[in-house]
Amino acid sequence: MAKTQKSFSDNDKLTGSPTGFSVTVREFEFAAGAGFVIPILGSMMRMPGLPAVPASEGMTIDNNGKISGLS
């Protein structure tokens, strides 16, 4: 959960340490390798990760300097 300086919830109108409130979890992401469960709240955005196989693995250069595998 990413916390703002304003609240513990996804409602920025709540301040301090509110009680008796609900937190809306939009979705869960699982980082199985790290063993993390990541709740995504409100309009929180996540940074994209890197692919398992880099795009460079599908690129080649022949003896004439012609590059293949670029999209």
Q: What is the CATH number of the domain that holds 66?
A: 3.10.410
- Residue 54: what pLDDT? 87
- Residue 65: what pLDDT? 94
Domain total for the chain?
A: 1
The per-residue b/e assignment along 10-45, b for 16 or more CB within 10 angstroms, e otherwise, is beeeeeeeeeeeeeeeeeeeeeeeeeeeeebeeeee
- Residue 51: what pLDDT? 82
- Residue 62: what pLDDT? 94
* Tens-digit pLDDT string for the chain (71 aa): 555 555 555 565 666 656 676 778 888 989 888 888 888 877 767 777 778 888 889 999 999 999 999 87
Its domain, for residue 46, covers 1-71
- Residue 34: what pLDDT? 87
